[in-house]
């Protein structure tokens, strides 16, 4: 089913949620991931989202994983697809295969330059930005009405961009005007900034559902690498909370869970986000704990009081 139709039909009193996974490189990794996904599917997500490797490097594995979650597990699947580092023929083939496998949701992306290359050269001159992929799908008689299309947005700004926020929002509006049905955001930790950004999105006349990107912090090292790579702003109080526990993976994980819960609770109260997109890093425990603490799964959180009492910067009641 198309995600926007599911969102519209939902009676949930809180935002819906989906889980992002990347296809593992090995068969064993694939099997392990499938076991995790099947457990997380029991939590009734809006969708499973499956990432796409640069230049189609994970083409078969992304399509296999997405086909499996869509058909075997019966969970609506959002297949990510980049365009600027792939030939047009490959884009068409992938869309065709996705359609054959029952996938109805595509996250239309530009993609990043291959690792180590600073110069950006589009493989096909017709695909320079994600907008071009949205337009391509919408203009194709084969795909136009079949796919519900999502696009990416960056509340902290795109890491490579030299543009100001207004110009970035104008390009976001172009993607929606070209036919995108919903927006999925980059992960963020500065909730005040996100809320201001979302207000500006709405003021620009962008009315489609926004799905907020949340990544529970797993380890200090991976967190530090990712925020640097993606240009994510982190409020000083979060850095101060993390500094004394950075060497202790379990305390960092606990903190990450609590921070995600706090963030989602604020988004639920203070914004119109339609859903939360969990960047799982292919891990299941933290996301599961977040949903339990939010009491969105119908299952009581086993260590609720302990976690609340022991986590630095505690504000949950």
Q: Is there binding between residue 186 and ligand FAD (CB under 6 A)?
A: yes
Looking at the Cβ atoms of 63 and 109, the one nearer to ligand FAD is 109
Looking at the Cβ atoms of 184 and 274, the one nearer to ligand FAD is 184
Q: Is 20 a catalytic site residue? A: yes
Looking at the Cβ atoms of 108 and 191, the one nearer to ligand FAD is 108
Judged by CB under 6 A, the stretch of 4-12, 104-112, 138-146, 199-207 that binds ligand FAD is 104-112
Looking at the Cβ atoms of 231 and 312, the one nearer to ligand FAD is 231
Q: Is there binding between residue 58 and ligand FAD (CB under 6 A)?
A: no
Is residue 33 within 8 Å of 280, Cβ to Cβ? no
Site size with ligand FAD, rule: CB under 6 A = 23
Please state the closest distance from residue 60 (CB atom) to ligand FAD, in A.
Answer: 15
Cα–Cα distance measured from residue 297 to residue 269, given in angstroms and rounded to the nearest whole number: 19
Is residue 253 within 8 Å of 312, Cβ to Cβ? no
- Main-chain phi, psi angles of 208, to 5 degrees: -70, 160
Please state the closest distance from residue 246 (CB atom) to ligand FAD, in A.
Answer: 26
Is residue 218 within 8 Å of 252, Cβ to Cβ? yes
Place of tokens 């529970």: 216
Cα–Cα distance measured from residue 190 to residue 192, given in angstroms and rounded to the nearest whole number: 6
Instruction: Give the residue from 311, 250, 262, 315 showing the smallest Cα distance to 290.
Output: 262
Please state the closest distance from residue 81 (CB atom) to ligand FAD, in A.
Answer: 8
Among 131, 263, 288, 311, interactor with ligand FAD by CB under 6 A: 131
Q: Which of 5, 20, 100, 160 is catalytic?
A: 20
Q: Is there binding between residue 161 and ligand FAD (CB under 6 A)?
A: yes
Q: Which residues form the interface with ligand FAD (CB under 6 A)?
A: 51-52, 54, 80, 82, 107, 109-112, 129-131, 152, 158, 161, 163, 168, 171, 175, 184, 186, 213
Catalytic positions, written as ranges = 20
């Amino acid at each position: 089913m198309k995600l926007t139709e599911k969102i519209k039909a939902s009676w949930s009193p809180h935002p819906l949620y989906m889980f992002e996974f990347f296809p593992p490189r090995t068969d064993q990794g694939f099997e392990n991931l499938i076991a995790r996904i099947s457990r997380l599917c029991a939590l009734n997500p809006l969708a499973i989202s499956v990432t796409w490797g640069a230049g189609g490097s994970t083409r078969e594995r992304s399509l296999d994983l997405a086909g499996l979650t869509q058909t075997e597990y019966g969970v609506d699947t959002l297949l990510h697809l980049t365009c600027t580092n792939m030939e047009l023929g490959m884009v068409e083939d992938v869309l065709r295969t996705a359609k054959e496998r029952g996938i109805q949701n595509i996250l239309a992306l530009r993609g990043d330059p291959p690792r180590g290359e600073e110069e950006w050269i589009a493989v096909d001159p017709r695909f320079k930005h994600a907008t071009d992929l949205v337009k391509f799908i919408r203009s194709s008689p084969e795909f136009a009405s079949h796919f519900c299309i999502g696009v990416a947005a960056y509340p902290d700004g795109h890491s490579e961009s030299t543009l100001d926020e207004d110009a970035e929002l104008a390009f976001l509006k172009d993607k929606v005007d070209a036919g995108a049905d919903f927006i999925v955001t980059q992960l963020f930790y500065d909730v005040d900034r996100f809320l201001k950004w979302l207000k500006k999105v709405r003021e620009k006349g962008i009315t489609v559902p926004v799905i907020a990107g949340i990544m529970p912090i797993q380890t200090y090292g991976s967190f530090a690498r990712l925020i640097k790579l993606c240009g994510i702003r982190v409020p000083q109080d979060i850095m101060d909370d993390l500094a004394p526990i950075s060497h202790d993976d379990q305390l960092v994980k606990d903190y990450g869970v609590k921070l995600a819960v706090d963030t989602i609770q604020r988004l639920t109260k203070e914004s119109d986000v339609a859903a939360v997109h969990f960047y799982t890093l292919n891990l299941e425990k933290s996301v599961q704990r977040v949903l339990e603490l939010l009491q969105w799964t119908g299952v009581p959180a086993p260590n609720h009081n302990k976690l609340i009492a022991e986590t630095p910067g505690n504000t949950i009641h």
